[in-house]
Structure 1
Amino acid sequence: MAAISLLATATAGAAVAEQPSFSNNRADEDWSALRDPANRTGAAWEPFKFIPLDAAGKSYLTLGTDLRLRFERYAHNFDSPKPNETYGWSRVMPYADLHLGPNIRVFGQILGAWADRSALTEGPVDETGVELLQGFAEASAPIVTGELSIRGGRQMVAYGSERLIGLRFGPNVPLSFDGARARLEIGGWTADAFAYRPVANELGDFNDRSDRSRKAFGLYATRALPEIGPKSGLDLYWIGYGRDDARFDSGVADERRHTFGTRFFGSLDGWSWNHEAMLQLGSFGREGILAWSVATETRYTFPGVPLRPFAELRANAISGDGEPGGRLGTFNALFPKGKYFGEIGLIGPANLVNLHPVIGVSLGSGWSLSGAAVFYWRQSLEDGVYGNPGNLVRPSAGSRARYVGTQGEVVLGWEATPNVTLETSYALFEPGRFLRETGSGKTVHFVGGEIQLRY
Structure 2
Amino acid sequence: MKNKLLLLVSLIPLSCFAQEYPSFKSSRQDEDYSFLKKDSTKGNWYKTMKFLPADKSKNIYFSFGGDIRFQYFYAKNENWGDGEQDNDGYVLSRYFLHTDFHAGKFFRAFVQVQSSLADGRIDPSPIDQNPLDVHQAFADFNFINENGKRLIVRAGRQELSYGSQRLVALRDGPNNRQSFDGVKVMAGKENVSADLFFSHYVVAKDGIFDDNSNQDRQFWGSYFVFNKIPVVKNIDLYYLGYERLKANFNDAMGKEIRHSLGARIWGKSESWRYDGEAVYQFGDVGSKDINAWTASINTGYRFNSIKFHPEIGFKTEVISGDKYEGDSKLQTFNPLFPRGAYFGLASVIGPSNLIDLHPSISFEITKNIDWVVDYDMFWRYSGNDGIYAPNTSMIYPSNTTTKKKIGNQLESEIIWEPTPFLYFRLEATWFLAKDYIKASGIGKNIFFTGITSQVRF
Partner of 1:376: 378
Mapping of residues 179-258 of structure 1, within 5 Å: 179-225=182-228, 228=231, 232-258=233-259
Please give the TM-score of this superposition, normalised by the length of structure 2.
0.91
Give, in angstroms, the shift of residue 31 of structure 1: 1.6
Q: Helix, strand or coil for the counterpart of 1:222?
A: strand
Q: CA offsets per residue over residues 17-57 of structure 1, 9 Å max, x none?
A: x962212211111122222339x899863332122223332
Distance of 1:269 and 1:42 partners within structure 2: 41
Q: Helix, strand or coil for the counterpart of 2:166?
A: coil
Structure 1 89/407 Cα, relative in aligned 2: closer, same or farther at 3 Å?
same
Mapping of residues 63-102 of structure 1, within 5 Å: 63-78=64-79, 80-85=82-87, 86-102=89-105
Task: Check if 1:124 corresponds to 2:131.
Answer: no
Unaligned runs of 5+ in 2: 1-19
Distance of 1:65 and 1:276 partners within structure 2: 33
Partner of 1:404: 406
Q: Helix, strand or coil for the counterpart of 1:212?
A: strand
What is the aligned counterpart of 1:107 among 107, 110, 120? Answer: 110
Structure 1 389/352 Cα, relative in aligned 2: closer, same or farther at 3 Å?
same
Alpha-carbon contact 2:138-2:154 (below 8 Å) kept: yes
Partner of 1:317: 318
What is the aligned counterpart of 2:389 among 376, 387, 402? Answer: 387
Partner of 1:31: 33
Alpha-carbon contact 1:291-1:329 (below 8 Å) kept: yes
Partner of 2:7: none
Partner of 1:8: none
Partner of 1:15: none
Give, in angstroms, the shift of residue 398 of structure 1: 4.6
Alignment-mate amino acid for residue 286 of structure 2: G
Partner of 1:350: 352
Partner of 1:12: none
Distance of 1:84 and 1:287 partners within structure 2: 40
Alpha-carbon contact 1:343-1:409 (below 8 Å) kept: no
Structure 1 42/270 Cα, relative in aligned 2: closer, same or farther at 3 Å?
farther
Distance of 1:175 and 1:32 partners within structure 2: 28
Distance of 2:180 and 2:356 partners within structure 1: 30
Computed over aligned residues only, the root mean square deviation of the Cα atoms, in angstroms, reads 2.0
Unaligned runs of 5+ in 1: 1-17
Distance of 1:402 and 1:91 partners within structure 2: 37
Q: CA offsets per residue over residues 374-418 of structure 1, 9 Å max, x none?
A: 000110010011112221111112511011100010001110211
Structure 1 240/42 Cα, relative in aligned 2: closer, same or farther at 3 Å?
farther
Partner of 1:434: 436
Distance of 1:145 and 1:406 partners within structure 2: 47
Structure 1 348/145 Cα, relative in aligned 2: closer, same or farther at 3 Å?
closer
Alpha-carbon contact 1:147-1:184 (below 8 Å) kept: yes
Partner of 2:3: none
Distance of 2:175 and 2:90 partners within structure 1: 12
Alpha-carbon contact 1:59-1:102 (below 8 Å) kept: no
Distance of 1:281 and 1:213 partners within structure 2: 19
Partner of 1:4: none
Alignment-mate amino acid for residue 404 of structure 1: I
Please give the TM-score of this superposition, normalised by the length of structure 1.
0.91
Give, in angstroms, the shift of residue 244 of structure 1: 1.5
Partner of 1:337: 339
Partner of 1:305: 306
Give, in angstroms, the shift of residue 365 of structure 1: 4.4
Distance of 1:269 and 1:390 partners within structure 2: 38
Alpha-carbon contact 1:239-1:258 (below 8 Å) kept: yes
Structure 1 452/43 Cα, relative in aligned 2: closer, same or farther at 3 Å?
farther
Partner of 2:4: none
Between 267-276 and 130-139, the greater mean CA deviation after superposition: 267-276
Alignment-mate amino acid for residue 31 of structure 2: E
Distance of 1:142 and 1:129 partners within structure 2: 38
Partner of 2:155: 152
Partner of 2:15: none
Give, in angstroms, the shift of residue 145 of structure 1: 7.4
Distance of 2:441 and 2:86 partners within structure 1: 16
Q: Helix, strand or coil for the counterpart of 1:136?
A: strand
Task: Check if 1:296 corresponds to 2:288.
Answer: no
Partner of 2:57: 56
What is the aligned counterpart of 2:450 among 448, 451, 455? Answer: 448
Distance of 1:43 and 1:338 partners within structure 2: 38
Identity of matched residues, %: 32
Distance of 2:236 and 2:166 partners within structure 1: 13
Distance of 2:294 and 2:258 partners within structure 1: 14
Distance of 1:228 and 1:52 partners within structure 2: 45
Give, in angstroms, the shift of residue 243 of structure 1: 1.2
Question: How many residues are aligned here?
Answer: 434
Distance of 2:359 and 2:162 partners within structure 1: 24
Alignment-mate amino acid for residue 330 of structure 1: T
Alpha-carbon contact 1:178-1:197 (below 8 Å) kept: yes
Distance of 1:224 and 1:452 partners within structure 2: 33
Distance of 2:345 and 2:441 partners within structure 1: 22
Task: Check if 1:168 corresponds to 2:171.
Answer: yes
